[in-house]
Amino acid sequence: MSILNGVVGIETVSAVSGSGELNGLAASANPDVILADDDATDRAALLSVAAELGLPVVLLTSDRQSVRQLSSAHVPAWACLLKEAEAAEITAAVFAAAAGLITLDGSMVPLLTAANVRSVQTIYGELPDPMSPREMEVLQLLAQGLPNKVIANRLNISQHTVKFHVAGILSKLNVGSRTEAVTIGARRGLITI
Amino acid sequence: MAGEKVSAIGRFVGLKALSDELAGLVESAAAYTVRVEDGSRLTGTGVVWSEDGTVVTSSHGLERDEDLSIESSDGTVRSVTLVGRDPESDLAVLKASNTGLIAAPKEENPEVKVGQLVVAIGNPGRQGLQATLGLINSRYEVQTNDKPEYILKTDAVLYPGFSGSPLIGATGKVVGLVNRWFGRGSSVALGVPIVEQVVASLLEHGRVQRGYLGIRTQIVPLPETVLTALERPQASGLLIVQVEPGSPADVAGVLLGDILIGIDSESLVDVDGLRHHLRAGRTVQLHTLRGGQQRNVEATIVAQR
């Protein structure tokens, strides 16, 4: 872990080999983050100890698949980087993990399928027919209760075009009124509030 | 036998009086309960709010902005213009140019109590007035302004087209404006103070200026591991899916991916709850989850642009 020597804000409080030693040392050293050189045979045990201690884990691995294991671990934050990661990347990941953020090497993103990130899976799926940027603008103005005439003026389009967009919004959100469109739009995260 | 029947009928004097009074109450409400015609198949109901021609109805019942009219129970039709809508309270205000309208009498706040008899009076179709009877089942206090405001729940049945109808108490005064859609299946009425506030704002500004935090959110179930760590367990939170640069949320340090779980020590389980808290000028504590850890940040809500 010499790569982190001299980095302002990071102090190596303890170095251990394997999850077995981690449990005992962590209590006395009081670390903020566990930086681990991945060992596939000890990975599950390490994550279980980290979860028990409530500590974020920064894992340096050669197995991209380990990102899946990390994403379902009950740790407060984690990072998954490749063993050949630059010192700057590791440093950033340590700071990010300490701040409660999740960091991963870009090449691992496709491995995190919807099933793996179900903890942040929202109850609304994608709209079958997504809203156009113009419809999103009209919806935002509907949320302010503005009538068609004012919306037309704001967006510099005709009232007829506003009506056309409102009809499109109601149809895409499968609702019967503007009020419902605003409520459903806000619930779906389509309106800034 | 015949004598027993006569005496049995004679015993219902009080009930007859109540029945007559209810019918009288409906008759008196006919003066200010109007049918709102917006050209759609199902018309809605509105209440004449003040004698200058201000009429209140539900926003969701109005499908269009123009070519609107109201019809009084005596058959008089007046054309009206749309003053404005407030999607948040689902209210819309209309203005009739010619007067001669009679305004609804309104009940003062302290007189509105759980358990009181209420009558909902709708005027949606061509059949004239329709009335249903119930109790005020509960009263929810909501504070969106400085004055006490409340939403009433009733077991009076609300038929299609009843949104925008008056809910009338036993004194013959309006206690709230009913809304079939707002209550998500249950019969609710917005108390008079909420309606007064929205009407005043729509008349003055054409819209109700709501508070703005600068986020887009979606409801997410909270993972089991997080639930146990919370002071007050809640099944869901609001995942922040967008933070507007420079907005109050951005200034407060809210990040994309944070989960908003509360505001000012109150749990937030859906975006509707959050919208009720947004009052411009207020400084609020936002309780968020980041990486499973709770964070509390302060944000000052601004007026929506």
Q: Render pLDDT for B4-14 as a digit per residue (tens, 0 to 9).
A: 555 666 678 88
Q: Could you give the CA distance from residue B252 to residue B215 in angstroms, rounded to a whole number? A: 12
Determine the residue among A148, A177, A184 to mutate to test chain B binding: the one whose Cβ has the most chain B Cβ atoms within 10 Å: A177
Collect all residues of chain B within an 8 Å Cβ-Cβ radius of residue A177. Answer: 59-63, 181
Query: CA-CA-CA-CA torsion for B237, B242, B246, B249, nearest 10 degrees?
Result: 0
Q: Could you give the CA distance from residue B225 to residue B227 in angstroms, rounded to a whole number? A: 6
Structure tokens at B63: 């499908």
Q: What was the pLDDT predicted at A114?
A: 42
Q: Render pLDDT for B45-85 as a digit per residue (tens, 0 to 9).
A: 999 999 999 999 999 888 788 889 999 988 899 999 999 99
Shortest CA gap A151–chain B (Å): 12
Q: What is the DSSP letter of A44?
A: H
* Full-model pTM: 0.66
Collect all residues of chain B within an 8 Å Cβ-Cβ radius of residue A122. Answer: 218-220, 239, 241
By C-alpha distance, the chain A residue nearest B59 is A179
Q: Render pLDDT for A52-91 as a digit per residue (tens, 0 to 9).
A: 888 899 999 988 778 878 887 888 889 999 988 888 889 9
DSSP per-residue string spanning chain B = -HHHHHHHHHTTHHHHHHHHHHHHHHHHHTTTEEEEE-SSSS-EEEEEEETTTEEEEESTT---SSSEEEE-TTS-EEEEEEEEEETTTTEEEEEESS--PPPPPB--GGG--TT-EEEEEE--SSS--EEEEEEEEEEEEE-SSSS-EEEEEE-S---TT-TTPEEEETTS-EEEEEETTTTTTS-EEEEHHHHHHHHHHHHHHSS---EE--EEEEEEEPPHHHHTTSSS--SEEEEEEEE-TTSHHHHTT--TT-EEEEETTEE--SHHHHHHH--TT-EEEEEEEETTEEEEEEEE-EE--
Q: What was the pLDDT predicted at B67?
A: 87
Collect all residues of chain B within an 8 Å Cβ-Cβ radius of residue A182. Answer: 87-88
pLDDT at A30 over 70: yes
Collect all residues of chain A within an 8 Å Cβ-Cβ radius of residue B291. Answer: 56, 76-77, 99-102
pLDDT at A116 over 80: no
Quick check: B292 and A123 CB within 8 A? no
Quick check: A145 and B274 CB within 8 A? no
Q: What was the pLDDT predicted at A118?
A: 42
3-state secondary structure of A132: coil
Quick check: B218 and A146 CB within 8 A? no
Tokens 């209309």 label which residue? B94
Most confident of the following: A11-25, B1-15, B163-177: B163-177
Q: What was the pLDDT predicted at B64?
A: 80
For all residues of chain B together, what is the average pLDDT?
A: 87
pLDDT at A121 over 70: no
Q: What was the pLDDT predicted at B70?
A: 93
A142 or A110, higher pLDDT = A142
Q: Render pLDDT for A158-187 as a digit per residue (tens, 0 to 9).
A: 999 999 999 999 999 998 888 889 989 998
Tell me if B262 sits within 8 A of B284, measured CB to CB: no
Please report which confidence band the pLDDT of residue B98 belongs to, taking 50, 70 and 90 as the band edges. Answer: low
Of B129, B131, B112, B128, the C-alpha closest to B120 is B131
Collect all residues of chain A within an 8 Å Cβ-Cβ radius of residue B210. Answer: 144, 193
**Range of lowest pLDDT (B25-39, B109-123, B223-237, B265-279):** B223-237
Q: Could you give the CA distance from residue B289 to residue B217 in angstroms, rounded to a whole number? A: 14
For all residues of chain A together, what is the average pLDDT?
A: 84
Cβ pairs bridging A and B (under 8 Å):
118
pLDDT at A9 over 90: no
Quick check: B218 and A122 CB within 8 A? yes
**Range of lowest pLDDT (A139-143, B180-184, B253-257):** B180-184
Please report which confidence band the pLDDT of residue B303 belongs to, taking 50, 70 and 90 as the band edges. Answer: confident
pLDDT at A117 over 70: no
Residues 58-117 of chain A whose Cβ lies under 8 A from any Cβ of chain B: 74-77, 99-102
Quick check: A187 and B271 CB within 8 A? yes
Q: What was the pLDDT predicted at A11?
A: 84
Q: Render pLDDT for B245-277 as a digit per residue (tens, 0 to 9).
A: 999 999 999 998 889 999 988 888 888 888 878
Q: Look at the alpha carbons of A13, A17, A18, A21 in this order and tell me if their dihedral is positive or negative.
A: negative
pLDDT, average across residues A4-21 = 81
